[in-house]
């Protein structure tokens, strides 16, 4: 187990380093002169060469790329993460201020997806091709196709119409005012949770259907266990393993999807900060936030893999 742990950890670490290199290269080498991005084509053409040198030095962009990369790594290690081009605050402040909202949304979405997806998946697997199964399949196909941000827009529209809903403007933390906080995060969490729930339902249905055909389940039935116990105690634990893994993959969807969903709900979370930074072409903020999103994805999937190894000894001893 320890060897597996070490191997998986090193693997994740190398992935993160690769990710940071890609983020860095994409944002430095491709755009040509970063000042065009910053000042616009017109502003860039008006700038004198002397100004240019000063601005570049100010932003720390005049050093060679390897030096800049190492400096970035040092910034990450120190926890400051560099400064925004436009605002004085460091990226760390930005993440600490807006991150909690997005994290709450992601976690709540995950909880909702399990609470909705699992029972629905079990119900439709118990009676395959029954009416509950048909409805489930219809909705899971539908929810996989509906873009989350559009569903959010429709929800906002309906809330606006019936309840005079207003988009939150300020960040309200859980520890400041739990009720306000819940009002901000509940909408995005439901939209994202339902979409993931559709995948969880499909996955748990197909896995449960496969497990239910196994011999040991028939044995459980033969020894006289009630159907409820057969499904919940004997079949379900084995069917759950792949569903756990899928949750890690789905987190990628939640992270990506939350960017657009936050925008639709007007939630001032991290996703919105990323969109703003991209539109403003704030390279330092973008590179740190993109790295953070990828980092979360890598770490969670490493944890999922480890939990999988813990749940299923066959993997541990490979």
Partner 1 sequence: MLSLLRQNWLSAAGGIVALLIVLVALAAPLIAPRDPLKADFRHMNKPPSTEAFFGTDQVGRDALSRVIYGARTSLFVAFSAVLLGTTLGSLWGVACGYLGGRFDALSQRVMEIFQSFPDLILAMAISMAIGTGLPAVIVAIAITRVPFGGRVIRSVALSVSAMPFVEAGRAAGASQFRVMALHVLPQCVAPYLVLATTHLGVAIVIEAALGFLGVGVPPPTPTWGNMLADAITGLVPQWWLVLFPGLAITVTVLAFNLLGDGIRDSLDPKLAPTVLRLVTGVGRGARTAGATTATPATSAHGQPGAA
User: Restricting to residues 36-55, which ones interact with partner 1 according to CB under 8 A?
Assistant: none
- Of 108, 203, 230, 235, the residue at the interface with partner 1 (CB under 8 A) is 203
Which range touches partner 1 (CB under 8 A), out of 68-76, 184-192, 226-234, 254-262? 254-262
Task: Return the residue matching tokens 């196909």.
Answer: 141
# chain residues binding partner 1, by CB under 8 A: 72
- Of 61, 62, 242, 316, the residue at the interface with partner 1 (CB under 8 A) is 242
- Of 1, 10, 13, 26, the residue at the interface with partner 1 (CB under 8 A) is 26
Question: Which residues contact residue 133 at a Cβ distance below 8 angstroms, ignoring those fewer than 6 apart?
Answer: 123, 124, 125, 127, 205
Residues 209-238 as x/- pattern, contact with partner 1 by CB under 8 A: xxx--------------------------x
The first and second tokens of residue 287, run together, are 């590179």
Task: Indicate whether 113 belongs to the interface with partner 1 (CB under 8 A).
Answer: no
Q: What are the contacts of 91-95 at 24+ separation with CB within 8 A?
A: 91/284, 91/285, 91/288, 91/289, 94/270, 94/273, 94/285, 95/270, 95/288, 95/289, 95/292
User: Restricting to residues 278-307, which ones interact with partner 1 according to CB under 8 A?
Assistant: 278-279, 281, 286, 290, 293-294, 297-298, 301, 304-305
CA distances in angstroms from 196 to 25, 97, 117, 187, listed in the order given? 32, 26, 8, 14
Task: Return the residue matching tokens 């999807």.
Answer: 257
- Of 193, 257, 268, 269, the residue at the interface with partner 1 (CB under 8 A) is 257
Task: Indicate whether 22 belongs to the interface with partner 1 (CB under 8 A).
Answer: yes
């Amino acid at each position: 187990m320890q060897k597996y742990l070490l191997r998986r950890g090193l693997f994740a670490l190398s992935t993160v380093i690769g990710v940071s290199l890609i983020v860095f290269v994409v944002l430095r080498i491709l755009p040509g002169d970063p000042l065009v991005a910053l000042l616009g084509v017109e502003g860039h053409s008006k700038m004198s060469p002397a100004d240019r040198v000063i601005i570049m030095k100010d932003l720390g962009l005049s050093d060679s790329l390897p030096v800049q990369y190492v400096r970035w790594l040092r910034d990450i290690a120190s926890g400051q993460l560099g400064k925004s081009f436009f605002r004085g605050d460091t990226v760390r402040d930005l993440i600490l201020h807006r991150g909690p909202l997005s994290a709450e949304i992601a976690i709540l979405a995950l909880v909702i997806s399990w609470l909705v997806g699992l029972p629905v998946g079990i119900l439709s697997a118990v009676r395959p091709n029954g009416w509950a199964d048909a409805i489930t399949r219809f909705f899971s196909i539908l929810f996989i196709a509906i873009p989350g941000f559009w569903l959010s827009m429709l929800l906002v529209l309906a809330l606006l119409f019936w309840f005079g809903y207003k988009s939150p403007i300020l960040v309200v933390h859980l520890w400041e005012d739990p009720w306000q906080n819940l009002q901000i995060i509940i909408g995005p969490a439901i939209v994202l949770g339902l979409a993931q729930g559709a995948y969880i339902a499909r996955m748990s249905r197909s896995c449960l259907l496969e497990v239910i055909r196994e011999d040991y389940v028939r044995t459980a039935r033969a020894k006289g266990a009630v159907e409820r116990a057969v499904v919940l105690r004997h079949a379900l634990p084995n069917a759950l393993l792949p569903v756990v893994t899928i949750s890690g993959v789905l987190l990628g969807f939640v992270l990506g999807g939350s960017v657009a969903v936050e925008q639709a709900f007007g939630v001032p979370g991290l996703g919105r900060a990323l969109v703003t930074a991209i539109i403003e072409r704030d390279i330092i903020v973008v590179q740190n936030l993109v790295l953070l999103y990828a980092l979360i994805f890598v770490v969670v999937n490493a944890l999922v893999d480890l939990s999988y190894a813990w749940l299923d000894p066959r993997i541990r001893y490979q």
